[in-house]
């Protein structure tokens, strides 16, 4: 019996937390409603079973690639400032480069097929590295999520070109398999890191920093108009 992918387990756990009313503050900052978040989670879980052939040795996983990319486009389009958009996209490029280099040279090794650091589990190492790099580059919750998820996918795309160049006898599933887990975990960890650091900064300074910040960005720090959260009703 095959084990359930770690990414799907985390998505199911996340959906339960949202159902119980946990995580509303983060969703508000990302401009997502509970219903939208649950629909995205459902689309990722169902989409993880769907593969589209794209070319030689390459397929695309709907849940691990199409849905995260669509969500990233939505978040970038709704970013508060041009700087946030630039940081999100630049962060994705930086994260993708780090993930690619980590997987190609550090984990595999320069000469040894098994890799010099094969004892490290990529399933956990890649998301941790991607989340940290994505947060440092993106800083905001939205930008960190975009940088982490797109960065992992870009790293996977780089791996595909490595496969073609070296004529490796494998087929790359863009966003599928272990990469699906890495996309989910890196996105969640990046947002969690941004939330923890952001919350700590806000508490230290007595609330969100407002001086000198664009009005459009300040408006997005508030919950969507007309939307009431379960924890506010209690």
The structure tokens 């490029």 sit at 93
More confident residue, 174 or 124: 174
Average pLDDT (183-211) is: 76
Task: Quick: pLDDT tens for 142-178.
Answer: 999 999 999 999 999 998 998 898 888 888 999 998 8
Task: Check residues 107 and 12 and name the one with the higher pLDDT.
Answer: 12
pLDDT tens-digit series, residues 68-92: 999 999 999 988 788 989 999 999 9
Are residues 96 and 155 in contact, defined by beta-carbon separation less than 8 angstroms? yes
What's the pLDDT band for 227 if we cut at 50, 70, 90?
Answer: very low
Q: Domain ranges in the chain?
A: 6-205
Q: Where are the alpha helices (DSSP H) in 54-140?
A: 67-77, 82-101, 122-138
Residues whose CB falls within 8 Å of the CB of residue 19, separated by 6 or more in sequence, listed in order: 38
pLDDT at 26 (0 to 100): 82
E strand spans, the chain? 51-55, 58-61, 172-174
Choose between 42 and 26: higher pLDDT. 42
Scan for tokens 């649950």, then name that residue: 38
Q: Do the Cβ atoms of 65 and 172 come closer than 8 Å?
A: no
């Amino acid at each position: 019996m095959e084990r359930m992918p770690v990414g799907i387990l985390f998505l199911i756990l996340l959906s339960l937390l949202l159902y119980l009313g946990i995580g509303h503050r983060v969703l508000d900052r990302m401009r997502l409603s509970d219903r939208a978040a649950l629909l995205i989670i459902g689309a990722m879980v169902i989409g993880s079973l769907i593969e589209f052939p794209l070319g030689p040795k390459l397929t695309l996983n709907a849940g691990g690639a199409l849905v995260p990319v669509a969500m990233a486009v939505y978040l970038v389009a709704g970013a508060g400032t041009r700087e946030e958009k630039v940081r999100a996209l630049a962060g994705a490029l930086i994260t993708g480069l780090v993930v690619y280099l980590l997987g190609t040279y550090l984990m595999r090794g320069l000469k040894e097929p098994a890799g010099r650091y094969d004892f490290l589990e990529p399933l956990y190492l890649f998301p941790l590295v991607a989340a940290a790099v994505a947060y440092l580059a993106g800083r905001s919750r939205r930008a960190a999520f975009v940088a982490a998820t797109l960065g992992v996918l870009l790293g996977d795309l780089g791996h595909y070109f490595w496969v073609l160049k070296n004529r490796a006898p494998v087929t790359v599933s863009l966003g599928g398999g272990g990469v699906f887990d890495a996309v989910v975990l890196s996105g969640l960890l990046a947002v969690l890191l941004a939330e923890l650091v952001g919350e700590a900064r806000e508490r230290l300074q007595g609330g969100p920093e407002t001086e000198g910040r664009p009005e459009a960005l300040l408006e997005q720090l508030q919950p969507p108009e007309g939307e009431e959260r379960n924890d506010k009703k209690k």
